[in-house]
């Protein structure tokens, strides 16, 4: 999948989960602070949706962080370890640790949840590509559910659908968050 499709997927998963997240974590904050946390949640979901491709030097994130990408890509193949459930588990534990060290700061909580969900969306979307992912690393089993080719017409259409749904859900979440009365 392309950067654009992964970004749309990150925003979509954030939009699908924000209402439940808000009910659990954001009840006691004023509207302006909730709005700021909304944007943090969504931006970290977007960031998380792009991070798994640090394992290839051609990706958008690899160009932003070339030294980290070089380190990762020399040690793992593309869509291998960084696209696995094992890495997702390690990431969740690291994010939990950051939240605990930060004394459960709400900004860190929003960032961590957004990052984790965005990262998971990336792996889920890559499962639908022709190349698949090494979901159960280190077992070496390539897991795929579809034959969608990266940068194909099919992917561009799929991205448009994701983007359309995401935008509508983001507006719904803003409406819900701001408690707008019509």
Q: Does the pLDDT of residue 182 top 60, yes or no? A: no
Torsions phi, psi of 134, nearest 5? Answer: -90, 70
Average pLDDT, the chain: 95
Torsions phi, psi of 56, nearest 5? Answer: -130, 140
Tell me the two tokens of residue 4: 């654009």
Q: Does the pLDDT of residue 181 top 80, yes or no? A: no
What pLDDT score does 175 carry? Answer: 92
What pLDDT score does 147 carry? Answer: 86
Q: pTM for the whole thing?
A: 0.94
Find the mean pLDDT for residues 4-12: 98
What pLDDT score does 39 carry? Answer: 98
Q: Per-residue pLDDT tens for 133-150?
A: 999 999 988 999 988 999
Find the mean pLDDT for residues 149-156: 94
Range ranked top by mean pLDDT from 20-29, 70-79, 105-114: 105-114
Contacts of 9 (CB under 8 A, 6+ apart): 1, 49, 118, 121, 122, 124, 125, 162
> What domain range is 165 assigned to?
3-178
**Closest CA relative to residue 12, chosen from 140, 131, 120, 155:** 120
DSSP string, 90-127: HHHHHHHHHHHHTTT-HHHHHHHHHHHHHHHHHHHHHH
Res. 99 pLDDT band, cuts 50 70 90: very high
What pLDDT score does 179 carry? Answer: 80
What pLDDT score does 178 carry? Answer: 86
Q: How far is it, in rounded angstroms, from Cα 182 to Cα 178? A: 12
Quick one: how far is CA 63 from the chain centroid?
18
Find the mean pLDDT for residues 78-82: 93
Decide if 176 contacts 26 (C-beta within 8 A).
no
SS3 148: strand
Total structural domains within the chain: 1
What pLDDT score does 180 carry? Answer: 61
The total of other beta-carbon atoms located within 10 Å of residue 77's CB is: 13
Find the mean pLDDT for residues 68-95: 95
SS3 48: helix
What pLDDT score does 140 carry? Answer: 87
């Amino acid at each position: 999948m392309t950067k654009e499709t992964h970004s749309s997927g990150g925003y979509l998963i954030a939009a699908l989960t924000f209402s439940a997240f808000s009910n659990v974590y954001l009840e006691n904050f004023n509207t302006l602070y909730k709005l700021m946390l909304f944007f943090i949640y969504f931006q970290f979901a977007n960031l998380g949706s792009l991070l798994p491709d640090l394992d290839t030097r051609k990706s958008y994130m690899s160009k932003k962080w070339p030294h980290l990408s070089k380190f990762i890509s020399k040690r793992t193949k593309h869509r291998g370890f960084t696209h696995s459930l094992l890495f997702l588990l390690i990431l969740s534990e690291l994010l939990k640790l950051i939240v605990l060290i930060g004394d459960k700061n709400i900004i860190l909580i929003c960032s961590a949840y957004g990052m984790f969900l965005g990262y998971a969306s990336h792996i889920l979307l890559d499962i639908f590509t022709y190349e698949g992912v090494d979901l159960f690393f280190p077992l070496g089993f390539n897991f795929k559910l579809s034959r969608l080719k990266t940068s194909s017409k099919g992917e561009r259409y799929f991205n448009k659908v994701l983007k359309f749904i995401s935008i509508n859900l983001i507006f719904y979440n803003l409406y819900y968050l701001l408690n707008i009365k019509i």
